[in-house]
Structure 1
Amino acid sequence: MSDHEGSAGHGRFLTGVAWALVLVGLWLWGSEITDVRGGVSEPTNGDVAAVGRPFAVELPDAHEPLGAARPQRVDIPSLKVRAPVISRGLDPDGAIDPPPFEQAESVGWYGGGTRPGAAGTSLLVGHVDTETRPAVFYDLSAVRPGEKVRVTRDDGSVAEFTVDDVQVLSRDRFDAKKAYGPHEEGRAELRLITCGGSFDRAAKTYSANVVVSAYLTGVGP
């Protein structure tokens, strides 16, 4: 993510994120996943590195899940991100197809899964960069717990999520349960995912993924 260079080559995100999201298929197939952990205030170490998890952040109570509605736009005020959402499916390997590079300012939503605001974990993916420029989630690792993510839905509502966890999950010991499993059963949760770590030019892949976790805390028109 910090290794953005125009000459690095087309296709970084697609190869860099596929190794992680290939496990989405397994997660969806056998989702007996329950709580990942009791809380998110303690720092992590080893292959799962916390990007930012201040001890003093007081997080609001969860809002009751909403009815199902398709996402149309994602707003992350702290990053000045305001991006359209397009529905994406899985590729033959079971990875979420990210938006095509000509739509690198869009966010991809896994349309076969949970709709943002409904109970469960909704998955949103975005490019970190392209061959020539930063993309929609270039600064995603700068998000911090307590900040807001707003998803405009096709029923006219805006689902407001509060970030509760930001992690960089390494390629070598990726854990789908930690990435995609609910932090608390019964909540409406959101995952924002992009590439992270260092970029391997030979392999044309990133060494990690940035995974931002958030949960529903409000709703507005």
Structure 2
Amino acid sequence: MITGIAWAVLLLGLWLWGREVTNGPAGVATPTTGDVAAVGRPLDVPLPPAHDPLEPARPHQVEIPSIGIRAPVIPRGLDAGGAIDPPPFEMPHTVGWYRAGTEPGAAGAALLVGHVDTETKPAVFYGLSAARPGEQVKVTRTDGSVAEFTIDDVQVFTREKFDPRKAYGPRADGRAELRLITCGGTYDREARAYTANVVVSAFLTGVGRAAEKV
């Protein structure tokens, strides 16, 4: 029961996270339609089978080669409001990993969050909504392994009728999954919040080794 309550609080915090994730827009806008807009998975894009989960190890770096994202990862906790505390605004090109949750590559859904922009320029996850199913996400871990994930969908969740479990919860029992999360939609200056969240979902499909142990 306590675990269930803690999970519910975290999901609520994730839902509210985008309200304070940026100081203001730098021109970003992600189209949405209805409550959920999805890029979807084209029928002609085959996905590889899931790889068995790895032993836990902290993330060190995340890379999405197809959209030019390569960034260091730092552990983060929850802020006073119960939401994941993203990296400081002084570190706009750094990604935050929710350290009380799952390690990327281990069984469960690991959560990585990043700013979409600052007041003056794009930030680390500015291009996240351009990711597509079938593309790869690589997470270099502190044990020297590289957890290789394949994207299975990209969705934009609006705040009306938001379902945090659907957005951030595991989708297959025992599978190693990854969520990359940032703000989306349009920026409401009056509310000082974005109207949606971009959520890229991926699952573990391979494992490699880093060039040198980190």
Q: TM-score, normalised by structure 1?
A: 0.80
Matched, 1:49 2:37: yes
Identity of aligned residues (%): 70
Distance change in 2, residues 1:203/1:122 (3 Å): same
Q: How many Å separate the matches in 1 of 2:12 and 2:199?
A: 16
| 1:145-190 residue CA offsets vs partner (Å, 9 max, x unmatched) | 0000000000000000000011000011211111112121110000
Q: AA paired with 1:92?
A: A
* Pairwise CA distance, 1:27: 7.2
Query: Which deviates more, 189-198 or 169-178?
Result: 169-178
Residues 139-218 of structure 1 correspond to what in structure 2 (within 5 A)?
Answer: 139-218=127-206
Out of 88, 91, 113, the residue aligned to residue 101 of structure 2 is 113
C-alpha contact 1:118 1:188 (8 A) present in aligned 2: yes
Q: Give unmatched runs, 5+ long, in structure 1.
A: 1-21, 29-44
Residues 21-170 of structure 1 correspond to what in structure 2 (within 5 A)?
Answer: 25-26=10-11, 46-170=34-158
Q: TM-score, normalised by structure 2?
A: 0.82
Count of residues in Structure 1 that have an aligned counterpart in Structure 2: 184
| 1:40-66 residue CA offsets vs partner (Å, 9 max, x unmatched) | xxxxx7411103432221000000000
Q: How big is the alpha-carbon RMSD for the aligned residues of Structure 1 and Structure 2?
A: 1.7
Distance change in 2, residues 1:109/1:88 (3 Å): same
Q: How many Å separate the matches in 2 of 1:179 and 1:90?
A: 18
Runs of 4+ in 1 over 4 A off after TM superposition: none
Distance change in 2, residues 1:23/1:136 (3 Å): farther
Q: How many Å separate the matches in 2 of 1:23 and 1:208?
A: 19
Q: Give unmatched runs, 5+ long, in structure 2.
A: 1-6, 14-32, 210-214
Q: How many Å separate the matches in 2 of 1:27 and 1:187?
A: 23
